[in-house]
Amino acid sequence: MATVTATRAAGSRLAGIRSSQVQVNGAAFRVLEQGQGPAVLFCHGFPDTAETWRSQMHAVAAAGYRAVALDMRGYGGSHAPAEADLYSAPHIAGDLVGLLDALTIPSAVIVGHDWGAEHGWRAMLMRPDRFRAMVSLSIPYAPRGELSHWEQLREQGLGERYYAFDMMKPDAERRFEPAGQTIPGILYWLSASAPAGARWNPVDPALHMLRPAPVAVPGWADPGYVAHNIKAFEASGFRGGLNYYRAAQATFDLMPAFKNMVIRQPCLYIYGAADGLADVFHPTPPALAELRRAAPGLVDCIRLENVGHWIQHEAADRVNAELVAFLDAIGPPSEGGGRG
């Protein structure tokens, strides 16, 4: 259950957002909440924290929904086991279901970005009774096939070039330090603020994400958000976040029963055209019919021009509008669940 002592997040930057430590399956997770109504569960990616969702939380709370965001396993103020295999999709889905249980929420709509989106898709498969819809930022749904994602990349000759293989090396944590340099760099180089020819490219090691940024804070980023994340990673290090990459093979190995399964719940996919991952996932802009083969519940695919990886920040107003419109369109849970 949620700890009795819930602290008000400092400053107007997080006005109206309640912060607490919640016990989830015997482990502590840092959770932000705002608003009342059908629940919307926000899941961040790498390297990030729940603070990334403040604009979206304000928007959905104002529209009559209960916004819940957590520092995901391994991040910030949440449970951070050392073993990489404890970051597989079944473990993350267990965290999300356990959080709903702790907050007495019957079902929720997931909003995920980056690894939060990837694990959101898997949670939708594993527990359709608890996750009734999803909005994915940056990551399309890909069903489990015969080969793991890593095996597919190696077959394509990208085993030495694709960035994620570098993230799994034993010295990766050290290379991501100090956070005061790497966090601003990752925000800048993965965004549309960087010049087109110099942006992060996931298949070009020369255009890696750990280059020093020419600015301390990109123009689209809240300085308070950047400062919070720097402080969080200075305290926790990067092992938890990097373990998501290391656990991807474990996820594949643990989920043979979900091979070729499709997403039938309503879902919305939004991505930035200037995101380095867009060229990997979509060498040409995808047709809605193509994406619906894997996700028949897909309502729309929205491509945002001149927007990079940090879509919830770079295009906050557009994302918020699309998110609220999607929530309103699917309506509340059929039996009134999800109200807190």
pTM exceeds 0.85 for this model: yes
Cβ within 8 Å of residue 113, ≥6 positions away: 43, 44, 45, 48, 52, 136, 137, 138, 139, 311, 312
Q: What residues act catalytically?
A: 114, 245, 309
CATH of the domain at 80: 3.40.50.1820
CB atoms within 10 A of CB 280: 15
Structure tokens at 230: 């720097």
Instruction: With a cut of 50, list the residues of the chain below it in pLDDT.
Output: 1-13, 336-340
Residue 33: predicted pLDDT: 98
In-domain check, residue 61: yes
Q: CB of 182 within 8 A of CB of 210?
A: yes
Domain count, the chain: 1
In-domain check, residue 140: yes
In-domain check, residue 5: no
Could you give the CA distance from residue 112 to residue 123 in angstroms, rounded to a whole number?
Answer: 11
pLDDT, tens digit, 9 for 90 and up, residues 277-327: 999 999 888 889 989 999 999 999 999 999 999 999 999 999 999 999 999
Could you give the CA distance from residue 236 to residue 80 in angstroms, rounded to a whole number?
Answer: 9
Nearest to 44 by CA among 233, 312, 331, 242: 312
Domain range for 276: 18-330
In-domain check, residue 219: yes
In-domain check, residue 339: no
In-domain check, residue 73: yes
Q: CB of 173 within 8 A of CB of 237?
A: yes
**Coil, helix or strand at residue 329:** helix
Q: CB of 210 within 8 A of CB of 176?
A: yes
Residue corresponding to tokens 């993965």? 190
pLDDT, tens digit, 9 for 90 and up, residues 63-104: 999 999 999 999 999 999 999 999 999 999 999 999 999 999
Task: Please count the helices (runs of H) and the strands (runs of E) in the chain.
Answer: 14, 9
Give the type of residue at 212.
P
In-domain check, residue 337: no
Task: Classify the phi-psi angles of 242: left when phi > 0, otherwise alpha if psi is within -120 to 50, otherwise beta.
Answer: alpha
Structure tokens at 249: 């093979």
DSSP state of 166: H
Kind of pairing, strands 18-24 and 66-70?
unpaired
Residue 337: predicted pLDDT: 44
In-domain check, residue 8: no
Could you give the C-alpha distances from 316 to 53, 72, 104, 308, 319, in angstroms and in order? 10, 21, 29, 12, 5
Q: CB of 70 within 8 A of CB of 32?
A: yes
